[in-house]
Structure 1
Amino acid sequence: MDIKLPHSLLKEFLDTSARPEQIAKSLSLCGPTVDRITSYKNDHLYHIEVITNRIDSASAFGIAREAAAILPQFKYKAKIKNDPYQLNLKQLGDLPKNSPLNLQILDNSLIPRFTAIALTNTQVKPSPKPVQDWLNLSGLRPLNNVIDITNELTLKYGQPVHAFDLDKIANQQLILRESKKGESITTLDGRVHHLQGGDIVIQDGSGRLIDLCGIMGGQSSAIDSNTKNVLLFVQTYEPKHIRKTSLYTQERTLAAQIFEKRPDPELVLPTLIAGVKLLEQRASAIISSNLIDLYPDPAKNKTINLDLNWLNQFAGISLKPTQVSSILKKLGFTSKSITSQVLRVTVPSWRHHDINLTQDLAEEIIRIHGYFRMPSNLPSTTIPHTQTDPLLHHEYQARSYLSNLGFTEIYNLSLVSQDLFRQTNLKLEPKLKLSNPLSGEFEYLRTSLIPSLLSNLDANRGKVAPPLRLFELAHTYHSTKSALPDETSTLSFITYGLDFFTTKGYLEALAKHLHLNLKFKPLVKKTPPFITKHSASVYYHNHHLGTLGIISPEVTSRFNLNQTVVCADLNFAKLSLQINPILNFKTIPQYPSIYEDLTLTSTKPVADLISKLEKAHPLITSVEYLTSHQHNHTFRLEFNDPKGNLTQAKVTQIKNNLKS
């Protein structure tokens, strides 16, 4: 997540004499990475990359807190000022007793904390020019003082804020719930969203949706120049709902990016208080209601014991106890000595979700101290020898050899759609359906590589002249009795515009390269998407490895393929187990071989004929299939006698016996 932060806004929370360039360099070495700094008139703009688990740093105050801990490590004095966590309700004075409106939350799990307050006598007008300037620098368009305050609070504290026109909320009633499939809402950007259901929404007393929570407010309750009564509310939402809605609606707003990463609920009330103070100052607003603050399940304090001896051994350096305590304090942690070498550290609320282990604390201390200060010592032990997984080696061999044969390797996604598999007459397993898919195109874990390869052929049809040769060697997934599916290494290669026997030759060449002698038997059981009578089961001894065959025209026509499509679909994990790493060698024949072509007329499968020829006579040392026409099949036979030279008469006699 990237943020743009004006130096003037950072200085509201950071008291330091360090220049912007010095701040940027120090932060990049020990904290959030500052990609670059740009200058604008009397200000500077930091372009900062914030990592996903550090949403507490995605704000001016968050960066100031990091800088206050980091800059002293580089001999720059720095401290935090205007800490929002010091704000409290006393600063709002005596509040009216009436509630701002009637609120119903149908599912408390959707919203960990909700606060709201009403203000009247609001004067909507442009924001002061300095505010407009740094809003523009931050990538946000100034609109009016009320909306600008909500954006300002988000940039300052990393806590999104929303404001409603209270008079536009029917019956002064809010109902927070999950959306129903088919409901729609028009958001502030003018887009109409038809909801899939399960989104967090707010409806008013008329049943109209007025907020797509955590994403964007609705047009129907927007602040405008006539607004007098404002409902200011600040909250946190259940993150999975927000991410799902944000992705499928393609509304990747700043609020959505923050809410999906679980901001600190303890910051909600201070942000609301700061918002009220700004509305009073800039819009002459007056508080007109009591405060709603629903916080049913506050997080409990988390403590971790830190052994300083362990820390120094883990880091490989020597850190003094006072140095460790100082770093932790500046990051917001509190620590108490249990013994002279053990600290009990309390994790601050804004780090509750990502600090769980002693190692997490060590990482914080070491990064602030500076990884670049760590000694560059090589390990004092030898690196243990590890044995390569044979399957990975065999996969590499297969990939390289198929590429050398002219095949193009394809990388497809493991997630597929139900429609794609229906096109190939294949079924998906219900247990492999994702509970929260991004779209229908990525709904199931694939059980076969064939549908995606057919789709690849269709995508390349007309762009490359036939023949096309594609392959994929990747995992397929199959349900088991356990919660997790079985992942099977699978090889599928497919040809377009080549006949069955040519493709079979590719498979046999690959098998020979892997030192396997495959056997082919007629396919008996119907196996979609293959044509049963034009397909074969692939065996090594008694191990069934897969299927080789012609894809049904019914299937290929759905992919607009008008030439023959032949596919080999193999369980590569099982095939890999049959490869013997120990090779057997035989001596070169002392006497020359004789090669003769033989044509047999038979209705039997070619595989059976080859097997019969190989066993027909001890002087036949190899059989190679050449071609077929109707029921006439031609083979090339190699004859060799280890005891002496063969005569043509002897070879002719064997051939005549075979024909009879």
Structure 2
Amino acid sequence: MKISLDWLRTLFPTDKSPAEISALLTSSGLEVEGLEELESVPGGLQGVVLGTVLTRDKHPDADKLSVTTVDVGDGTIRNIVCGAPNVAAGQRVVVALEGATLHPSSGEPFKIKKSKIRGAASEGMLCAEDEIGLGASHAGIMVLDTDLPNGTPAAQYFGLTSDHIIEIGLTPNRADAASHFGVARDLRALLRQPVQLPDVSQFHAPSEVPAGNIGVEIEDAEGCPRYAGLLLEGVQVGPSPEWLQRRLRSIGLSPINNVVDVTNFVLHELGQPLHAFDADKIDGQGIRVRRAGVGEKLTTLDGTERSLKAEDLVIADASGKALALAGVFGGKDSGVTEASTRVFLESAYFEPAVARKTAQNHQLKTDASFRFERGTDPHMVPLALKRAALLLQEVAGARVAAPVVDEYPKHIEHTPVRLLLPRVEKLIGHYIAPERIRQILTDLDILITEEGTTETGAAEWLVSVPPYRVDVTREADVVEEILRIYGYDHVPLRSFNAAAFLAKFPSPDPEVLRRDVAQLLSGQGYSEIITNSLVNSRYFETPEQPAAELVRVLNYNSADLDVLRPSLLHSGLEIIRYNVNRRQRDLKLYEFGRSYQRQDDGSYKERPTLAIYLTGNVQAESWQQKDEKTAYHHLAGAVLQVLRSLGFAPSGQQPVQHPYLNGGLTLLLNNQPVVHLGSVSPKVLKQLDVTQPVWYAELDWQWLLRKYRGAMTAQELPKFPEVRRDLSLVVDQAVTFDQLRQIASKAERKLLREVNVFDVYQGENLGAGKKSYSLSFLLQDPTQTLTDQAIDQVMQKLMAQFEQQVGAVIRK
């Protein structure tokens, strides 16, 4: 949210610097995320002053140039060459001095330098209005009518002042501060100075209701507790004056026309959204606030025809035609245009939950819905209406044609909260005098309605919180308000702090671990996806997935989304199908999601899962290398990196145990099946119309989180080098590398650090049913350097075990 400091000072006059105001706001909970200076003219006319032309002579070598002498008030007479046809002696002019940087209305900025023009020295520049960014005219230099002395800064003469824009990171609970007046209220409490609401004392309306007036009927007081309206006539729709456009531009808004600009101005000044209707387009001379009919249509200001829902709150006319989505967006057919002359101005309070639901139903986020969703001030409704009417009188020639219509069937009261004064000290950890507490509450518009004591003699107050503070509903909320105004910095640290026990080390943060793994996979070229937890039940009506295990949705809206997924696979395959059908065939995807299963006892199990998908080519083709299709080891490499990053190493493996994978492995961690990876069954691919092979891995994320702390260990870095030895052996086809790895690990527990396979060979020369493994072994002793004798002993032991247990033939 952007706040203009100049605008803020019209409501809260203060001589505090922008930096001081920013620090005060941040200390009170309105965190200032940025502070920038906004200049009326780029460069602020630095180095540009008023001067007087003393003499003007024709340039000896150029017919269209003049040589002038100019006094700029510093005691030095300057020679300046000028090309303007209207320059003459005795003129008061605008002079850009040497070193000044000018920002013209068009073109790039340029710096004034001492130079020679056709042989004549020039020590500055006499300026036209377009050359200093004040207009578009280049007919001649600016000739001024002023008594200000030479040397007066041009910015002072033109009344140019810079503004400062404060950007506040507004938290959702502080809807009361979503305006300049809201920020001013906080400064009032912090600095104990009065805030000035806009003066609406000049607002006058006819006492009698004219024949053409527009009435208001609230049919849904729950959704709209208060609605006020005002009829204006003689409105001349057109561009807004410069001051109004400048205010809106300063906070990042684009001026549209004077009517819309006034409603936006009041919104950001007072925090009360307004809407302007073309009164001639309201049938039946009446406004009805009602719920929409199912299937009712409304074309909004963006030109989109929207089908309304029964929970939508709409503004309709007396004939029943919907004119706007209440508190969210106006209708196209009732909007103000350049031809409008009669305007009905709306100022209302809509129930936050109703406004939020309507905005969500239609995926609309506007400045008005932002405020109504969080809660506005129902007491601001008439003031904002009168403020807007006075501004439209000023900028659009409007005339108030009827009395204000203010329907308030459901009065919104202050919120009563009981405050126990000893609780203030207990929650803050610091004593604050009751009179200071009283002062803070008064400055925050929180009134003390009753004072008394409890049975134990503790002071107790009943306070009344204004309705615009929707976030203050409990005693703790009131204490927080006291603390943020009193100042966190004013609560001292105690001289001695102690705890009665040692706290446990915090559990690993699941979100941090998830972020770290996501960054790891993204760094490998994988893209994160988020898919729907609802899927089609026909995917799972197979022998591999018993129907009784499915979690069915009773009130589903679509037959294609009628069960909660028992596996993330099918959701991801839908994404792969979508991309492959659009010729995006090389995909590396991952998703953190949940799968769901119905238990035998009728309860439900929800399992967090990390799914990884791989299909197409490993990387885009290029002249440097041939295409390489994704394979099992590409997926396995990514899975192992994820496990290592969490401190896990597989303790074993077995043929994949997953109903939708055709081949692959199930990795065991602590002898538990935690990871399934392999190729997706062709039957499943065909079922989802995926036309290319897909590799899939599914990690039990819940198990990994639960075991993470025990998996992460630290040890001293080795001081002695490791040694590698290679071994080739011929074994039966049925023998797996995992078997060999486990044999080696059991045979040598002290020195063996790692076993790896770097080649597998099968051929006729080995014999039928045989294959050859080439293995590498890393050996290391943490206490000493390994000798050849010790290494040979280990290798002999390993070879003997391979020969005994799997009948291996060692290749020499």
Superposition TM-score, scaled by structure 2 size: 0.60
Percent of aligned positions that are identical: 22
Q: Which amino acid aligns with 2:264?
A: N
Helix, strand or coil: the match of 2:340?
Answer: coil
Alignment of 1:72-221 (within 5 A): 72=192, 78-82=193-197, 94-96=207-209, 100-101=213-214, 107-122=220-235, 130-142=243-255, 144-175=257-288, 176-178=290-292, 180-181=294-295, 183-187=297-301, 190-195=302-307, 197=309, 199-204=312-317, 208-221=321-334
- Partner residue in 2 for 1:386: 504
Distance of 1:294 and 1:302 partners within structure 2? 18
Q: Which amino acid aligns with 1:598?
A: V
Aligned: 1:362 with 2:479: yes
Distance of 1:273 and 1:393 partners within structure 2? 50
Helix, strand or coil: the match of 1:272?
Answer: helix
Which of 479, 492, 495 is the aligned partner of 2:611?
A: 492
Which of 5, 27, 30 is the aligned partner of 2:28?
A: 30
Q: Which amino acid aligns with 2:207?
A: D
Which of 490, 500, 506 is the aligned partner of 1:373?
A: 490
Q: Deviation at 1:98?
A: 7.1
Distance of 1:12 and 1:387 partners within structure 2? 52
Q: Which amino acid aligns with 1:568?
A: A
Residues 465 and 165 (structure 1), Cα distance of their counterparts in 2 relative to 1, 3 Å cut: closer
For each residue in 1:243-299, what CA deviation from the matched residue of structure 2 results, as whole angstroms up to 9, or x when unmatched? 566568675432222222211222223323444455566635233356241432x33
Q: Deviation at 1:347?
A: 0.9
More helix by share: 1
Aligned: 1:412 with 2:412: no
Distance of 1:102 and 1:241 partners within structure 2? 23
Aligned: 1:47 with 2:162: no
Helix, strand or coil: the match of 1:550?
Answer: strand
Q: Which amino acid aligns with 2:490?
A: R
Aligned: 1:342 with 2:456: no
- Partner residue in 1 for 2:694: 565
Which of 47, 66, 76 is the aligned partner of 2:186?
A: 66
Q: Which amino acid aligns with 1:344?
A: L
Q: Deviation at 1:329?
A: 0.8
Q: Which amino acid aligns with 2:25?
A: L
For each residue in 1:523-563, what CA deviation from the matched residue of structure 2 results, as whole angstroms up to 9, or x when unmatched? 5x8x34x33xx356667799665644311346668999876
Distance of 1:370 and 1:135 partners within structure 2? 33
Residues 268 and 434 (structure 1), Cα distance of their counterparts in 2 relative to 1, 3 Å cut: farther
Helix, strand or coil: the match of 1:221?
Answer: coil
Q: Deviation at 1:57?
A: 1.5
Superposition TM-score, scaled by structure 1 size: 0.71
Residues 408 and 508 (structure 1), Cα distance of their counterparts in 2 relative to 1, 3 Å cut: closer
For each residue in 1:416-466, what CA deviation from the matched residue of structure 2 results, as whole angstroms up to 9, or x when unmatched? 37689999999995659999xxxxxx9998764445766589979999999
Helix, strand or coil: the match of 1:219?
Answer: coil
Distance of 2:418 and 2:679 partners within structure 1? 65
Aligned: 1:315 with 2:428: yes
Aligned: 1:254 with 2:367: yes
- Partner residue in 2 for 1:589: none
Residues 42 and 451 (structure 1), Cα distance of their counterparts in 2 relative to 1, 3 Å cut: same
Q: Deviation at 1:138?
A: 4.0
Whether the 8 Å CA contact 2:668–2:674 is kept in 1: the answer is yes
Higher relative contact order (CA 8 A, sep 6+): 1
Residues 381 and 626 (structure 1), Cα distance of their counterparts in 2 relative to 1, 3 Å cut: farther
Helix, strand or coil: the match of 2:190?
Answer: helix
Residues 56 and 444 (structure 1), Cα distance of their counterparts in 2 relative to 1, 3 Å cut: farther
Distance of 1:373 and 1:458 partners within structure 2? 59
Q: Deviation at 1:574?
A: 4.3
Whether the 8 Å CA contact 1:394–1:576 is kept in 2: the answer is no
Residues 548 and 21 (structure 1), Cα distance of their counterparts in 2 relative to 1, 3 Å cut: closer
Distance of 1:167 and 1:219 partners within structure 2? 14
Which of 384, 396, 400 is the aligned partner of 1:286?
A: 400
- Partner residue in 2 for 1:520: 654
Distance of 1:619 and 1:495 partners within structure 2? 37
Q: Deviation at 1:333?
A: 0.9
Alignment of 1:494-643 (within 5 A): 494-496=613-615, 497=629, 499-500=631-632, 514=648, 517-520=651-654, 527-528=659-660, 530-531=661-662, 534=663, 545=674, 547-553=676-682, 564-574=693-703, 596-600=729-733, 632=769, 634=771
Distance of 2:18 and 2:388 partners within structure 1? 28
Distance of 2:279 and 2:512 partners within structure 1? 68
Helix, strand or coil: the match of 1:255?
Answer: helix
Whether the 8 Å CA contact 2:230–2:346 is kept in 1: the answer is yes
Residues 555 and 44 (structure 1), Cα distance of their counterparts in 2 relative to 1, 3 Å cut: same
Helix, strand or coil: the match of 1:110?
Answer: coil
Helix, strand or coil: the match of 1:490?
Answer: strand
Q: Which amino acid aligns with 1:337?
A: E
Whether the 8 Å CA contact 1:302–1:346 is kept in 2: the answer is yes
Whether the 8 Å CA contact 2:277–2:345 is kept in 1: the answer is yes
Q: Deviation at 1:599?
A: 2.2
Aligned: 1:271 with 2:390: no
Residues 510 and 371 (structure 1), Cα distance of their counterparts in 2 relative to 1, 3 Å cut: closer
> Which shifted more, 125-134 or 537-546?
537-546
Helix, strand or coil: the match of 1:191?
Answer: coil
Distance of 1:514 and 1:70 partners within structure 2? 54
Q: Which amino acid aligns with 1:573?
A: Q
Which of 266, 285, 299 is the aligned partner of 2:412?
A: 299
Alignment of 1:434-445 (within 5 A): none
> Which shifted more, 514-523 or 313-322?
514-523
Residues 458 and 558 (structure 1), Cα distance of their counterparts in 2 relative to 1, 3 Å cut: farther
- Partner residue in 2 for 1:75: none
Helix, strand or coil: the match of 1:52?
Answer: coil
Whether the 8 Å CA contact 2:272–2:381 is kept in 1: the answer is yes
Residues 214 and 476 (structure 1), Cα distance of their counterparts in 2 relative to 1, 3 Å cut: same
Distance of 2:484 and 2:368 partners within structure 1? 29
Whether the 8 Å CA contact 1:424–1:451 is kept in 2: the answer is no
Q: Deviation at 1:89?
A: 13
Residues 196 and 572 (structure 1), Cα distance of their counterparts in 2 relative to 1, 3 Å cut: same
Residues 326 and 170 (structure 1), Cα distance of their counterparts in 2 relative to 1, 3 Å cut: same
Q: Deviation at 1:56?
A: 1.5
For each residue in 1:186-231, what CA deviation from the matched residue of structure 2 results, as whole angstroms up to 9, or x when unmatched? 41xx533444645443344566543233233233223345434332
CA RMSD of aligned residues (A): 5.8
Distance of 1:309 and 1:653 partners within structure 2? 77
- Partner residue in 2 for 1:588: none
Aligned: 1:328 with 2:461: no
